[in-house]
Amino acid sequence: MEAARATVPVLPDTEQQRSRGTRQRLWLALVFPHFSLEIACRGLASDEPVAVVDGHGVHVRILACNRAARGLGISIGMPLSAAWAVAAALQTVSRNAAVEAAALRGIAAWARQWSSLVSLVEDRPPGLLLEVGGSLRLFGDLEPLAARIRAGLEELGYQARLGIAPTPLAAWLLARINDGRPVRPGEALAGRLAPVPLFFLGLAETTCKALENMGIRSFGDCQRLSRSGTARRLGPELVRYLDRALGRVPDPRLAYVVPAVFVQELDLPTEVTALDALRFAARRLLLELEGFLIARDGAIEALELGFRHNRQAATRIVIRLLVPGRNARHLLALLRQRLESTQLPAPVTGLWLRADKVLVSAPPATDLFGSAKQQQEEQQLLVERLQARLGVAAVQGLEGVPGHRPERVWRYCSPGTKSPAVKSEMMAPRPLWLLACPTPLVHKPRLESGLERIQSGWWDGEDIARDYYITRSSDGARLWVFRELRGERRWFVHGYFA
Amino acid sequence: MNVLPEALLRHPGLWQGKARHDRQAYLSTGFPALDEQLPGHGWPRGALSECLVARPGIGELRLLLPALIGLAGEGRWTVWIAPPYIPYAPALGAAGVDLSRILVVNTVDEGESLWAAEQALHSGICSAVLLWSGVRDARRLRRLQLAAEESRSWAVLCRNKGFSKHSSPAALRFELGMMAGKLAVQIIKCRGPVPGAPVMLNA
């Protein structure tokens, strides 16, 4: 029997895997019962009354509200006008299906770090299905994995109900009834699904009505019906549904493909000016970005954080990294520096985070002894921290450049650049300090030594013709001075042999 | 003639004057005459040194240069914060300084300079932090000294000679000038007995 099954070309993958003795599928369903509200509130650091409303014209009603709003006497289903009469300070947000869809995709991309197959469930309430059978060994076991997913979602600002079962539908139903105890492959599934109420099954309305009239109230009741009789009276829908839930027929799910570019937005229900509150909101987005990058095994060199204002052009902050990275904590530290030195023209009504270029991540190479690599990375971190506050141009490295003109034989470069040692053709001494602009001398100095004629640069129009000498000032400092060979033949100080 | 038990001698809380200093905690100046005069026979690491000069360019880099060259092998940053002029790469490179480890930080005000110095010291990955500043606020100086104490870096603050009369929390303070074509280092404060006469150096 087993052998015969394995030869059938398109078998339900669960069955096929089982018959081959390979790993078994296990699905983890995430249901977001307060999705609309969480999208509205998750960028808000403070506990202000917020409600999500839905409807048109005079039929606008409260769809969901947070604890602060409930405390003021707001309840679900209340007309908006009544809600405002009760609580004038109430902030309302219209439910926006497009925003919810984008947010769900954001979580799906984030969740791809835990599973190779993430599928969207765009239902009410929405959710995700993660195939975690292949992730168990990597993340310890089911319990640690579930705990990490739950904690990660909380950091993003979402509360999820979890359900774990060998079929996606069963996992979903367990999550709907908030039954977090996992059903592992081989364990009795039918009994655990029995209490699921009929209206959670998502059957067609006519089927639902007909079943209710028959006195069927739950999944367990449905299972007790005779298979052929049900199929004859109600059509094949219910039978197929039960088969899918219990793993008798395949239930393929469409895998969510993580996009190439990270763009996520976060609307704030109130206007925010406090930096702490903005950092709180930005942190949510940065954590989402981190998950996205782990899922893609990528890293970024630059990201753009935008702040939207009312009736004003948005403020954009671009953060650049010297070493491609994805650590949200590090990015947040850089952002903190930048925010402190950025003047926001108006209160912020929303944020967006964008990372266009995702590079292949170089895994953190840890050496066996000490770690030169790690030290190098730490060195880059210091540069980034300094540059984040002082600006990129203020923090520089030095390198020598071949040539003759004193101003042109060096330049600032990106810190840490290992440039090939420039052959010092000049045997003549050079000062340790160079003046950015040579300062003119009034009198001819008393020359100590050296005549060095430097005549160069005729090809680019900035040619020089100078005689360099070393002299000593009255207080004993040794100076590098030159005299122009053309024009007024003035004397200048060009450096100090400090 | 040690009367103290060995365990007590090694106690970190016990400071024993000039005789015993952790070699690691000091950096040879490259001038034997100066090393001899300094406690620990070198520039102190994990402490602030203060170099007081009449004006920049008088010879401070020549004094610091041998130690900077000695640090090249560590492969860590040498941070130059708010230098008065451009550190001239050809001369530094010719002297043997590792240019790729130099970090030049140009700042617009005192606050930025001190912030950058603190960041560099706290990072724990800088061999040396050189700061040119006219900071006079005692609290800020104290912060700088504390940051230096918590680090393993050689921290140098270059200030104007005028500040020599002011008090300073720096562990080592000296005035630098030119005398008869030689560098004259007059130590005015150090951990241990302060030498009276200036040290004359050919540099």
- pLDDT score of A128: 94
Q: Which of A44-53, A103-112, A426-435 has the highest mean pLDDT?
A: A103-112
B166 beta partners: none
pLDDT reported for residue B23? 43
Four-way CATH pick for A5-37+97-256: 3.30.450.20, 3.40.1030.10, 3.30.70.270, 3.40.50.1820: 3.30.70.270
Q: Which of B93, B120, B145 is nearest to A419 (CA)?
A: B93
- Angle CA(A116)–CA(A118)–CA(A122) in degrees, nearest 5? 175
**Shortest Cα distance from B160 to chain A (angstroms)?**
15
C-alpha B171, offset from chain centre? 9
Give chain B positions within 8 Å (CB) of A418. 100
Instruction: State how far residue A382 is from chain B, nearest Cα, in angstroms.
Output: 7
Contact A475 B54 (CB under 8 A): yes
Tokens (6 digits) for A222: 């449905």
Answer whether A424 touches B (CB < 8 Å).
yes
From CA A337, how far away is CA B174, in angstroms rounded?
Answer: 36
**What CATH code would you report for A260-367?**
3.30.1490.100
Asked whether the ipTM of the predicted complex exceeds the cut of 0.90, the reply is no
- Range of lowest pLDDT (A112-121, A442-451, A481-490, B89-98): A442-451
A457 has a pLDDT exceeding 90: no
The count of CB pairs under 8 A between chains A and B is 148
The fold adopted by the segment(s) B31-201 is: Rossmann fold (3.40.50)
Model-wide pTM > 0.80? no
Cβ(A99)–Cβ(A107) under 8 Å?
no
Q: What is the pLDDT of residue A427?
A: 60
Alpha carbons A110 and A5: distance in angstroms, whole number? 37
Across the range B22-43, mean pLDDT stands at 82
Domain boundaries in chain B?
A: 31-201
Domain ranges for chain A, please list them: 5-37+97-256, 260-367, 429-496
Kindly tell me the burial class for residue A377, based on how many C-beta atoms sit within 10 Å of its own C-beta (0-12, 13-18, 19 or more).
Answer: middle
Of chain A residues 381-400, which have a CB less than 8 A from chain B? Answer: 381-383, 385-386, 389-390, 394-400
pLDDT in tens, B166-199: 889 999 999 998 888 888 999 998 888 888 888 8
The pLDDT score that the predictor gives to residue A460 is 80
Q: pLDDT of A388-426, one tens digit each?
A: 889 889 999 998 888 888 888 889 998 888 877 666 555
Give the whole-angstrom CA distance, residue B59 versus residue B62. Answer: 5
Instruction: Decide which of A361 and A316 is more confident.
Output: A316
- Do the Cβ atoms of B56 and A496 come within 8 Å? yes
Predicted local distance difference test score (pLDDT) of residue A162: 93
CA distance B101 to chain A (A): 6
pLDDT bracket for residue B93 (50, 70, 90) = confident
pLDDT classification of A16: cutoffs 50, 70, 90? very low
Across A125-138, average pLDDT? 90
Question: Is A182 in a helix, a strand, or coil?
Answer: coil
Q: Strands across the sheet with A478-484, in order?
A: A447-456, A464-472, A478-484, A491-496, A433-441, B86-87
Q: Which chain B residue has its CA at the smallest distance from A474's CA?
A: B178
In this prediction, residue A7 has a pLDDT band, given cuts at 50, 70 and 90, of very low
